[in-house]
Amino acid sequence: MRPATALALCAALASTALLSGCGKETAAGASASPGATCASLAPLPDPAGRTWDNVKVVSGKCGPSGAPSTGYEVTNTDQEPLTFTLTFALVNGFGEAMDTITRTVEAVKPGQTVRRPLDTEDGPGSARAYRARITKVRAVPADGAPTGDGACPPSGVRITNDRGDAAMGLRVVGIHLANCGTADYELNGYPALRLLGEDREPVTGVKVLHGTTAISTGIGGDAAPRPVTLRPGESASATLAWRNTTTDGDPVDAPYVEVTAKPGAGPVTVTPELDLGTTGRLGVGPWTKTPAGAGASQE
């Protein structure tokens, strides 16, 4: 297992700062976009005393008007490129959450620091009336992670998870594999899974079951495994199922799952956010070819 990641993530968290947009990603101190700069970015103390591991607040002047702006900073101190996904809550002056926004910082190199201003994607100004608080950070190895520009990973396949369904303590999430390469891709059986905690270290004490019948019936993971051939552009999925029941003991959370599609394939880390309670069980169904025209709501 690679060393635990030390994440330095700087976000718009100061309760006195409002949002102001000024373009795209920059390296520290660099120009954000033509006609818009992010100057004099510096850490600010958090007057409310909120703290997160390795989190700083950065503020400066952005845009042609030189208006005050708050941004976030991501530093990768791991030894491999990482893709970061950050979730922010936008809150009003009463501290009420009005909306959430997600930002992705792709393929941050080891030792690299990236700064970005915080704004909504539909244009500058749309989030300026709200303050922002970071609510979740996820970092996965960039090799195989979904990319915003649609580029296919070197493996020729893209692996993602959908948002899943939840009812009465039952959780069902799909793992999706798309052949984005130029050659056929063969699957047969079940994906191999390794559950990882917040620090991307292995989670122990959970039994991964082949099939989902022991978790619940009729949820799509009960079929016997069979060979699957994916031509370029085709996809397959496997069902994860669990219950988040909590009785005696400490509940187990595994936000990350390392998925190995087949023997010899490289692992890809996805974020299905498993809240396994104290059940100690996770069911996984076999790879099943996705019917033509079918889609999934993916993260």
Give the pLDDT score at 60.
54
Same domain, 67 and 43: yes
Give the pLDDT score at 51.
40
* Cα dist from 158 to 50, 85, 176, 192, 241, whole Å: 37, 17, 8, 16, 21
Separation of alpha carbons 234 and 290, rounded Å? 7
Please report the beta strands in 29-156, taking only residues with DSSP state E, as ranges in sequence order. 31-33, 36-44, 57-62, 67-76, 82-91, 97-108, 113-117, 131-141
Q: Which domain holds residue 247?
A: 157-289
Residue 152 lies in a domain: no
Give the pLDDT score at 131.
64
Q: Domain boundary at 115, 141, 167, which?
A: 141
Same domain, 91 and 167: no
- DSSP code at position 251: -
Same domain, 127 and 15: yes
DSSP of 263-298: TTPPPEEE---EEEET--EEEEPPPEEPPTT----B
Same domain, 118 and 169: no
Q: What share of the chain is helix, strand, coil (3-state, %, to 5)?
A: 0, 45, 55
Residue 151 lies in a domain: no
Residue 1 lies in a domain: no
Residue 121 lies in a domain: yes
Residue 296 lies in a domain: no
DSSP of 195-243: EE-TTSPBP-S-EEEEBSTTT-SSSS--SPP--EEE-TT-EEEEEEEEE
CA 116 to chain centre: 18
Give the pLDDT score at 65.
46
The pTM is what? 0.76
Return the SS3 of 154.
coil
Same domain, 125 and 163: no
Separation of alpha carbons 1 and 273, rounded Å? 20
Give the pLDDT score at 202.
96
**Per-residue confidence in pLDDT tens, the chain, 299 aa:** 444 444 444 433 333 333 333 333 333 333 333 333 444 444 444 433 234 444 444 555 544 444 555 667 788 888 999 998 888 777 776 777 788 878 888 998 998 888 877 764 444 444 444 566 778 888 899 887 766 667 888 899 999 999 888 777 899 999 999 999 999 999 999 999 999 999 889 999 999 999 999 999 888 888 899 999 999 999 999 999 999 988 888 899 999 999 999 999 999 999 999 999 999 999 999 999 998 876 544 44
Domain containing 267 — which CATH number?
2.60.40
Residue 216 lies in a domain: yes
The token pair at 286 is: 């076999």
Residue 247 lies in a domain: yes
Separation of alpha carbons 131 and 90, rounded Å? 6
